[in-house]
Amino acid sequence: MPRTTDRFVDIRRDPHSDELLARGGDLEAHSILQRAGFIAVVRLHETYHRAPAGLTEDDESRLATDAVARLRAAGYHVDCDEPFNTDARPARYPTLGTSVSHLAERLREATDTAEAADILTELTAPHDGILAGLEETLGALAEFFDGLSNATDPHTARRLRYLADEYVRVIHSDLAYTRERLADRHAPHPGRRACAEQVPDHEPERSAVCACPPPPRALPVPAPPPVGATRLRR
């Protein structure tokens, strides 16, 4: 079987710079690395991760060992320096992002506009919706930067408030309007319907289990012409 390279992660000290680096993995692995404390380094042809600046060697070792344990618990194959090797497998719990992504799954299964509107309400509810929470979080982060001492911190705080005011509120407003239109529409989705799991009386096939139409058949993609072949002129 071919090796699935995005399920492999390498965590080692670079022999030239002595930096603690993590390479490989897919987006899920990158999320795990960042939750363990690594910082993403995005390059043109590669995204890898490094330890935060200013850590002691012991702190870096603890960070790397924790990342190895989390990745292996998630089913990744991790090659690492021997000091980072561990048999620990910490428990995994659903993240907030996973809970939000579940809304996408529900929307893909929605069969009418009312159901879609109910799902969209989780984003747009003015008091406790996801976007209201995001706006509040950006405001709290801006307040955090207001209390820091670097010269650039006030600019960062203003930028965060700008994002909340100009971007999150616009998205919130547009989606709330979309939700209201869906709620007023009261229409089934023409390409989806709930399965009643009932066989109609006129169904001749004894093996039939429901009245749902068969899924559409994908047309085969024609093979490209062989190299060097001449095309017929019309």
Number of H helices, E strands in the chain: 7, 5
Contact status, residue 112 vs residue 130, Cβ threshold 8 Å = no
Determine the pLDDT at residue 192. 84
Determine the pLDDT at residue 234. 47
pLDDT in tens, the chain (234 residues): 445 578 999 999 999 999 999 999 999 999 999 999 999 999 998 899 999 999 999 999 999 999 999 999 999 999 999 999 999 999 999 999 999 999 999 999 999 999 999 999 999 999 999 999 999 999 999 999 999 999 999 999 999 999 999 999 999 999 999 999 999 999 999 988 766 666 666 766 656 666 565 555 555 555 555 555 455 544
Cα–Cα–Cα angle for 123, 124, 128, nearest 5°? 80
SS3 191: coil
Q: Exposure of 17 by Cβ count < 10 A (0-12 exposed, 13-18 middle, 19+ buried)? A: exposed
SS3 181: helix
How far apart CA 212 and CA 210 sit, in angstroms, is 6
Could you say which DSSP state residue 188 is in?
B
Determine the pLDDT at residue 193. 74
Tell me the CA end-to-end span of the chain in Å, nearest whole number. Answer: 45
At 154, give phi and psi (nearest 5°).
-60, -35
205-to-200, 208, 210 alpha-carbon distances in Å: 10, 6, 11
Strand 77-80 relative to strand 8-13, pairing:
parallel
Alpha helices by DSSP H, listed for the chain, are 27-36, 57-73, 96-109, 113-124, 130-146, 153-162, 169-185
How far apart CA 64 and CA 33 sit, in angstroms, is 9
Dihedral angle, C-alpha 185, 186, 189, 192, nearest 10 °:
160
Determine the pLDDT at residue 140. 98
